Amino acid sequence: MGARPRPRPQAGFRRVAAAAAPWTLPSLVTVGIVFAIVGRLHDALAEGAFPAGKLLLGLGVLALVTSPTLTVVRRAIGTTQGKALLLFTAAMFLSLPFSLLRSGSLELTIAFVTRTLPFIAIMLVSVRSVGDVERILRTMIVMQICVGLLIAGGFGVVLYGADGPRTTLAGSYDPNDLALLMAVEGAACLWALRDRKVLWKLAGFVGLALGMYVIVRTYSRGGTVSFGLMIALAFFLSRRMLPKWLRFALVPAVLVALSMAPSQYLDRLSTLGQVENDYNLTDPSGRTQVWKRGFGYFLSRPITGVGVGQFPVAEGRYGEAISQTAGWKWSAAHNMYVEAAAEMGIPGLLSVLGMLIPSILLWLRVRTRPPRSESELAYQRVVEAIGLGVVTFMTGTMFLSAALSPMIMLLVALGMATHMLPEAYSLQGRTGGAPAPAPAAARRPPPHRRPPGFPPRAPMPSSMSSSMPSSMPSSAPSPADAPSAAPTDRMPPASGD
């Protein structure tokens, strides 16, 4: 079978570029959230010295007060991801009475309600057009470049261990989390390669190169697999994201990058094919054994779980139960889906999937649909970038605990925002869903009203009215009164009836 043909613009394609999205206070706060909350760049320079979170929260409250927040939140709750976010919040509260350590779960729940939910609301309020989503994607590219330059400039922290010298940023993510962040933001860098401005094309290319560099410095196998999957999906499913020159240069570029990678990194990658000797399969603290125990925690409390953030506590109590207190590791779940199911039960697992999967479905729906306008083409491109980032994130979190991470907060906000844009309603109208409401200028006036500018009806002489039969209306519209295409008002019956 031949390759699927690329979608081409429909007839009448309007090549009218959308106006640039204006800067507002919510958009400024959103950019700060991406840099400080998701990227944590300020901690790399001065850990704990700058209260970025409190400052952004204060500005965000001001932005919410001065914006139509209730309207935006009401629309967001109407989306599938909004309902899943509500379910996730309810699952956190439901697990509180049954938590293994209630104080710890309560602290995480309060932080989620007072910080995470307001930040998501701020990002939703900041998005009013496709241009606002593009601004967030460009912010992610700039953050990717900044992280890469900080690591290359020696601001990273090197963690020495059996796996080699693994690098991360001070006070931020561990090496595996940082590698996943670079892989997810790589989708935004691929999106920029087709930008009209040469500067953003160059930024996307530099961001991809620095992202690969950071992943190699972290020695993360999960990050490498996620980044490779992101490139492969872009090559086969979103070919419009990759320029032709990059498709031909992709394989040689990867081979050159691997040839320049440290030998310890290549040795670590080679263990992916030697599962029989991997500690994750053989050691009691390995991830396979941790996942099995996590499934047991879920079965013991399938509705409430062991409590938000209490997977390590469950691991510690399991070690005490089998008399393995000395040297026993209070391990994290190392799997977002095991984490959500074990800590918040079925509601937690379903809500995590519900917050992410709709973005993938929207991506698969629009990737082959021919655009009808420039704004719709831009919408399809950002939807593809977000969907690709979500797939990359869901792949990497098979090895990481990230149900409460800033990355999922950013992806969920972007997913809800793309479902709320006018282009999404237009797409639903073309695929059999509820069509978008017609513009006010295109709506026809009701038939019982005379259109604006319509000439007034000429009065009928009284002699003609008295001479008309009672079975006929007292007046009839003449061609001079109204055009044949426009409906006219009806007169009441004659007084003789």
What HEC string does 198-228 produce? HHHHHHHHHHHHHHHHHHHHHCCHHHHHHHH
Residue 76 backbone phi and psi in degrees, to 5:
-65, -40
Nearest Cα neighbor of 389 from 419, 368, 418, 359 is 359
Nearest Cα neighbor of 420 from 190, 42, 82 is 82
Half-sphere exposure of 298 (CA within 13 A, CB side): 19
Helical (H) or strand (E) element with 360:
helix 336-366
Q: Which residues contact 41 (CB under 8 A, 6 or more apart)?
A: 35, 143, 146, 147, 150, 169
Nearest Cα neighbor of 404 from 333, 454, 467 is 333
For residues 86 and 242, what is the distance between their CA atoms, to the nearest angstrom? Answer: 36
pTM of the model: 0.80
pLDDT at 276: 61
For residues 69 and 418, what is the distance between their CA atoms, to the nearest angstrom? Answer: 17
pLDDT at 370: 78
| Helix count and strand count (H, E) for the chain | 21, 2
Judged by DSSP in three states, 303 sits in coil
pLDDT at 16: 38
For residues 63 and 53, what is the distance between their CA atoms, to the nearest angstrom? Answer: 15
Answer for the pair 175, 237: CB distance below 8 angstroms, yes or no: no
Eight-state DSSP code of residue 407: H
Q: Is 134 exposed, middle or buried (0-12, 13-18, 19+ CB in 10 A)?
A: buried
For residues 309 and 313, what is the distance between their CA atoms, to the nearest angstrom? Answer: 8
pLDDT at 244: 74
For residues 229 and 246, what is the distance between their CA atoms, to the nearest angstrom? Answer: 16
For residues 397 and 394, what is the distance between their CA atoms, to the nearest angstrom? Answer: 5
- Distance from CA of residue 446 to its chain's centroid? 41
For residues 36 and 240, what is the distance between their CA atoms, to the nearest angstrom? Answer: 31
pLDDT < 50 positions in the chain: 1-18, 430-443, 465, 470-497
Nearest Cα neighbor of 368 from 100, 40, 1, 5 is 5
CA distances from 132 to 53, 63, 137, 468, 497 (A): 22, 16, 9, 66, 65
Answer for the pair 292, 246: CB distance below 8 angstroms, yes or no: no
Nearest Cα neighbor of 52 from 171, 174, 150 is 171
Answer for the pair 383, 362: CB distance below 8 angstroms, yes or no: yes
For residues 307 and 101, what is the distance between their CA atoms, to the nearest angstrom? Answer: 7
pLDDT at 13: 39
Q: Round to the nearest angstrom and report the end-to-end CA distance of the chain.
A: 76
Q: Which long-range contacts (CB under 8 A, 24 or more apart) does 152-158 make?
A: 152/210, 152/213, 155/44, 155/45, 156/44, 156/217
For residues 6 and 368, what is the distance between their CA atoms, to the nearest angstrom? Answer: 7
Instruction: Dig out the tokens for 374 from the structure.
Output: 């420039």
Q: Is 192 exposed, middle or buried (0-12, 13-18, 19+ CB in 10 A)?
A: buried
For residues 200 and 211, what is the distance between their CA atoms, to the nearest angstrom? Answer: 16
